[in-house]
Structure 1
Amino acid sequence: MKTKVEIPNRLIDEKSPYLLQHVYNPVNWYPWSKEAFEKARSEDKPIFLSIGYSTCHWCHVMAHESFEDEEVAKLMNDTFISIKVDREERPDIDNIYMTVCQMLTGSGGWPLTIIMTPDKKPFFAGTYIPKSSKYGRIGMIELTNKTKELWNQEKDKLFDSAEHISERIKEATKNSPGELLGKEVIDLCFEKLSNSYDSNNGGFGNYPKFPTPHNLLFLMNYYHMNKEQKALDMVVKTLDSMSMGGIYDHIGYGFHRYSTDEKWLLPHFEKMLYDQAMITLAYTDCYNITNNTYFKEIAESILEYCNRVLLSKEGAFYSAEDADSEGEEGKFYVWSIKELKDILDDQELELLSRVYNLKESGNFKDEATRRFTGYNILHLKWKLSEISYDRYDDNLNNALDKIRDTLFKKREQRVHPHMDDKILTDWNGLIIAALSRAAAIFNREDLAKTASKCADFFVSSMEENGGLFHRYCKGQWNISGNIDDYSFMIFGLIELYEATFNDRYLKEAIGLMDEQIKNFWDDEGGFYFTSSNEEEVLTRIKEIYDGAIPSGNSISFTNLIKLSRITGETKYEEYGEKLQKAFANIIKESPIAYTQMVSGILLSISNSEEIVVVGDINSEEFKNYINNIRSVYSPTSVLVAKNTNEPNPMIHELADYTKYQDKLDDKTTIYICRNFTCNEPVTSLNEALKIIGK
């Protein structure tokens, strides 16, 4: 019997793990390229555009059902020129066609399915499509046949529809500037979050329930400005509940992408780098406010996971781990009692079952059958510090540590979920920020070194390649940087500067911001998603929605304010004002959709605080002063250091006002300017802390 020879399609030369998953599909896939569109024109065929990512569960399902199916593939090859796009590689393409999908269907998600003309103008949009019609969804076979029929018989109508949709998209992406926003929109955002808050389980809304850390970061900023206890209470409850639920990996650490239920029990199991970064920021800030070491431990555990699993040999971080292993979602993470009996002794199993709520029949139900699966997800109903168990009162944590270590080693022997090993600049900017803030707040020099090595990888690449690129994979950089790459990396570099006081990182942040303004700025206000030097897909859009991660414009707003205050350059604040005005009207309508941007507005109207510490940055006195200043939660402050051991420090060039700030009486000296007014410099740490804590 002859073995069938698999013939690769045109994706064989790509680097993206997602595209490579489809190399041996019988569908004649093309990457997004001039060749594909020219082929569509010459053969007079519509384009079938499929957008997804390598750790997307329903992308895998659609691939198995349709793209690996000979019958479906033959129909597609006869009807379409088919293009595969990795949304994480080409967020510019994903953004514009996701906007189309949301406009036409009222919702969106991945896999994203678009059918369009060879001129890139869409006339059909959807998400997951089964092989045959079911669940009230048209199937791939029916959709393909119908498209072929319409293309052959009513092509003019399809082109008219595509033209109309394209014009609607261009109109929808325009924005009319408004006036600067203030406390009213901030209070409205807090009110909306309060109304959607789940007081029983933490988080917002019903289910599926996403961590959305920028909501929590806003609430902590709001608490700081208004001393509104409810804001902090919502954060604490949410972070407690998330870390006790199944969305948190109690064995290997890190957070899964979202919870399918309202109690944070049953997650969608993929682990994304951006989630780890943003959630770390939330736990770190909550520790900074409350001084509750539990939040510090969770933040450190997330970073331990990132360093152990996602860290590449280059010092940067991979993108994600899949939800699936061996073809089943979550198989890597769940446990049956039968399996646990072979691993643990009776006493250990009894303790694990009681603390982590395990059941013989399993502790979660199959969504389709509504029956218990026989498998368990480790989760807590109370924090370990609140559990009383006579037999282990003195050494409960030690006993559980031993059990978890046993399970971790056993789990490591399983087939691991697929690793998406591409390195994305934007997501690495976020993890640099998270590592840097944790390094500063927890006084962890090792975390600062990890952040520095990661940042150095990107800085070196910019010097070698003459600019910022979006993706590095298998030794190659590709795809020009977008607004998220610039803004998130600037965010990371500012945080890294404040953690290390290495002036080089501040210089790189300023240089990137100037380049971002040059290539992405719209004279009407705000930043386009793509550079003026790059391909335009339908139209250039300006993204402001703070979804799974904040938008590039929202992060840029905060970057502009912070750089203005660090450097003393008012031009950055002026750009920030224009940016805010550009989106003011849509933010006013629904501030809860733009919480990162509203955090920036809160920062812009709060009492600003510029703190410059002058002295020998390697001295114990200087380090003590810095650590004490950092112990005060103050999101409206910027922290600058001037090293008196350097005869001509770079900070003079970057922030020339520091030229005139020197040590007094040969002691570490602190200069504090607050709300555009400067205090007398002080050498007493206690005096400084009183001013900062006001």
Structure 2
Amino acid sequence: MERESFEDEEVAAVLNQHFVAIKVDREERPDIDQIYMTVCQAMTGEGGWPLTILMTADQAPFFAGTYFPKEDRFGRPGLLRLLSSVAREWAANRTEIERTGTGVVSRLKPFLEQSQPGDVREQLLHDGASALLARFDAAYGGFGDAPKFPTPHQLMFLLRYALRFGHEEALRAVERTLLGMAQGGIYDQIGYGFSRYSTDRQWLVPHFEKMLYDNALLAIVYTEAWQVTRNPAFADIAKQVLTYVLRDMTHPDGGFYCAEDADSEGVEGKFYVWTPNEVRDVLGDEVGNRVCRWFHITQEGNFEGKSIPNRIGESLDTFLNEAAIAPERWQSELQDAVRKLFAYRERRVHPHKDDKILTSWNGLMIAAFATVGRVFGERAYVEAARRALQFIQTRLTDADGRLRSRYRDGHAAYPGYLDDYAFLIWGLIELYEATFEPSFLRQAVAFQEQQLALFRDEQAGGGFYLTPSGGEALIARPKEIYDGAIPSGNSVSAYNLLRLARMTGHAAFEQAASDVFRSFAGDVGHYPAGHTFYLLALQFARSRGQDLVIAGSRHDAATVEACRAVQEAFLPQAVVLFRDESAQADALTEIAPFLAAQRPVNGKVTLYLCENYACRQPTHDVKQALAELNT
């Protein structure tokens, strides 16, 4: 519609004569998008983008749809005819149209603003896992048929479910899906990073747009899968994703950009595809032929006459046998070849970069950099998370400490939404566990208290609105629990509240999380598989409530070693705190007073394992503590 209609002078003339045309960036205004997408689904039975809404001046919608060509085509009405027809009807029957819009608002407002409470049952976990596994594609990974979306929080939930209930099928589903995506064309084999979704079952042909949020969540789940399986391929992918983000998606001052388009020079995927001749020109015939064989780059191609590099359906051993090459030599040769192909590709016209910086998506990427840096002991990743946080603090935080949602070209706009607070708090918690610096935990608590004050639904007994109190008046103040491409702010908030409650002993946080669970349990019960981050948080709530406190000196080698062992481990049911005996002022006990008595014993690093706020005998044995946590 951008090319066909909005840049067309004939369409513009009709629009400007009869309408006030407003184009909304749904990433900047998720509140408007949430409201009017619900309107479209209710009025037409379907939704999607582009989203087309006709409304009265007081925001009441009376017509909704998605894509309209300029002229009638394939049974779909053209935008020109639609606009002219509505303009005539408005002139003749304006009162009736306004009545229609008012009726739409009155019917949908309760649906948008209210949640369905219910019983918070463990069965929701089993129902969600069963529904996902019933749709699992054992051949290629993922769930259902084409198109396939990564939806990393589904995998994060299943990974935890597999460990908690000893469910081997759930673990196999996670491993197969992660391997399938990493081998497919949805993963950029030359420059790294994941595209938004695959148009086919095999993960071969992506919609080539790369989104920051996908890559953040995927880096986390690949890291978690490495923690569980120790498969080095998962570690490689997690690190490569962050290599891509640092190289191509990072502002000079540390914030992270939104996305890269699918198109370059007006052609989708042109930047990413290859012919055998191009590869041989770069690498020479011998190495070039091997690389073409490795990445399935063929003369006939797999995408509009060219090839998307991929590794679908072939093992390393098979390739090495057929190529008659030693593994070590091939590994070195491949790394050199990918570097050369990447350098060659850099000379092509790049896809457009959406250089908006969103607080919410940056919160997810801060969580990713902190998680990957913590697990693999990579300080550079943790520093990248720290710099992004500083960017938000200096560019996207008001003088009164409230968050802004979007930054671009020196200008911050829009009061922060629920997702901005929820995702940033998640990032701060991960930064604390990666560094054990109390300042990050203090900031997380402060933003959590601010979120409760601005977004909590006090009348309906819990849950959070998408927009803050005192914000712009729209036809409704929406609440959302559906965990779609991105987890909902309510689901992530429940998870944050539980973790902060355990870290600080703040009982009000735990109660607020319980209110979220209860407030949306009815919605989740209708379709548990669509609420997997809610289920992830619920699984944390239903765990044994374990806390691990490490007490020692930050400058002591044994303490550093103990912290590294704990930071590398997968402990989805626990929170970890570090009591630094060498700090001049014990900042942590100011935030968590219950830690005052947990100090090193006999001058040695000491670990305290607590369950539901009752602590066992302290130990100096890290392996013993981790074994008890994983029992």
Looking at structure 1, the residues matched to 93 and 210 of structure 2 have their Cα atoms a distance apart, in angstroms, of 45
Query: Match of 2:297?
Result: 358
Q: Give 3-state SS (helix, strand or coil) of 1:377's partner.
A: coil
- What letter is aligned with 1:168? R
Query: Match of 2:497?
Result: 560
Query: Which of the numbers 433, 440, 444 marks the counterpart of 1:505?
Result: 440
- What letter is aligned with 1:477? A
Looking at structure 2, the residues matched to 148 and 67 of structure 1 have their Cα atoms a distance apart, in angstroms, of 18
Query: Match of 1:391?
Result: 324
Q: Give 3-state SS (helix, strand or coil) of 2:596's partner.
A: helix
Q: Is the 8 A contact 2:280 2:289 kept in 1?
A: no
Give the drift of 1:514: 0.3
Q: Is the 8 A contact 1:244 1:383 kept in 2?
A: no
Query: TM (normalized to structure 2)?
Result: 0.97
What pairs with 1:55-70 in structure 2 (closer than 5 Å)?
Answer: 62-70=1-9
Query: Which of the numbers 448, 451, 454 marks the counterpart of 2:382?
Result: 448
Q: Is the 8 A contact 2:249 2:256 kept in 1?
A: yes
What pairs with 1:497-536 in structure 2 (closer than 5 Å)?
Answer: 497-523=432-458, 524=460, 525-536=462-473
Residues 660-689 of structure 1: CA deviation (Å, up to 9, x unaligned)? 111100000111102443111111223222
Identity among equivalent pairs (%): 40
Give the drift of 1:549: 0.4
Change (3 A) 1:383 1:432: farther
Query: Match of 2:554?
Result: 617
What pairs with 1:421-570 in structure 2 (closer than 5 Å)?
Answer: 421-461=355-395, 462=397, 464=399, 466-523=401-458, 524=460, 525-570=462-507
Query: Match of 1:585?
Result: 522
Give the stretch that moved more between structures: 494-503 or 145-154. Answer: 145-154
Query: Which of the numbers 252, 257, 260 marks the counterpart of 1:313?
Result: 252
Are 2:200 and 1:261 equivalent residues in the alignment? yes
Looking at structure 2, the residues matched to 151 and 384 of structure 1 have their Cα atoms a distance apart, in angstroms, of 65
- What letter is aligned with 1:444? E
- What letter is aligned with 1:300? K
- What letter is aligned with 1:388? L
Are 2:63 and 1:131 equivalent residues in the alignment? no
Residues 173-220 of structure 1: CA deviation (Å, up to 9, x unaligned)? 243553441321100001100111111110011111000000000001
Q: Is the 8 A contact 2:398 2:404 kept in 1?
A: no
Looking at structure 2, the residues matched to 158 and 590 of structure 1 have their Cα atoms a distance apart, in angstroms, of 35
Looking at structure 2, the residues matched to 105 and 435 of structure 1 have their Cα atoms a distance apart, in angstroms, of 41
Q: Give 3-state SS (helix, strand or coil) of 1:114's partner.
A: strand
Looking at structure 1, the residues matched to 522 and 114 of structure 2 have their Cα atoms a distance apart, in angstroms, of 8
Query: Match of 1:378?
Result: 309
Q: Give 3-state SS (helix, strand or coil) of 1:347's partner.
A: helix
What pairs with 1:142-153 in structure 2 (closer than 5 Å)?
Answer: 142-153=81-92
Query: Match of 1:97?
Result: 36
Give the drift of 1:304: 0.3
Looking at structure 2, the residues matched to 383 and 653 of structure 1 have their Cα atoms a distance apart, in angstroms, of 54
Residues 395-439 of structure 1: CA deviation (Å, up to 9, x unaligned)? 112222222111101100001111111110000000000111111
Give the drift of 1:156: 2.0
Query: Match of 1:673?
Result: 610
Query: Which of the numbers 264, 270, 292 marks the counterpart of 1:331?
Result: 270
Q: Is the 8 A contact 2:118 2:521 kept in 1?
A: yes
Looking at structure 1, the residues matched to 420 and 584 of structure 2 have their Cα atoms a distance apart, in angstroms, of 35
Q: Is the 8 A contact 1:210 1:259 kept in 2?
A: yes
Give the drift of 1:457: 1.9
Q: Is the 8 A contact 2:551 2:607 kept in 1?
A: yes
- What letter is aligned with 1:396? W
- What letter is aligned with 1:235? V
Looking at structure 1, the residues matched to 119 and 443 of structure 2 have their Cα atoms a distance apart, in angstroms, of 29
Query: Match of 2:588?
Result: 651
Query: Match of 1:12?
Result: none
Report the RMSD for the aligned CA atoms in angstroms: 1.4
Q: Give 3-state SS (helix, strand or coil) of 2:609's partner.
A: strand
Give the drift of 1:522: 0.3
Are 2:576 and 1:639 equivalent residues in the alignment? yes
Which ranges in structure 1 are unaligned for 5 or more consecutive residues?
Answer: 1-61, 365-372
Query: Match of 1:347?
Result: 286
Q: Give 3-state SS (helix, strand or coil) of 2:21's partner.
A: strand
Residues 230-274 of structure 1: CA deviation (Å, up to 9, x unaligned)? 111000000000000000000000000000001000000011110
Query: TM (normalized to structure 1)?
Result: 0.88
Give the drift of 1:383: 4.7
What pairs with 1:195-214 in structure 2 (closer than 5 Å)?
Answer: 195-214=134-153
Looking at structure 2, the residues matched to 296 and 449 of structure 1 have their Cα atoms a distance apart, in angstroms, of 19
Looking at structure 2, the residues matched to 127 and 225 of structure 1 have their Cα atoms a distance apart, in angstroms, of 43
Give the drift of 1:227: 1.2
- What letter is aligned with 2:412? W
Query: Which of the numbers 627, 630, 633 marks the counterpart of 2:564?
Result: 627
Change (3 A) 1:478 1:465: farther
Change (3 A) 1:387 1:508: same
Q: Is the 8 A contact 1:567 1:655 kept in 2?
A: yes
Q: Is the 8 A contact 1:182 1:605 kept in 2?
A: no
Q: Is the 8 A contact 1:472 1:478 kept in 2?
A: yes
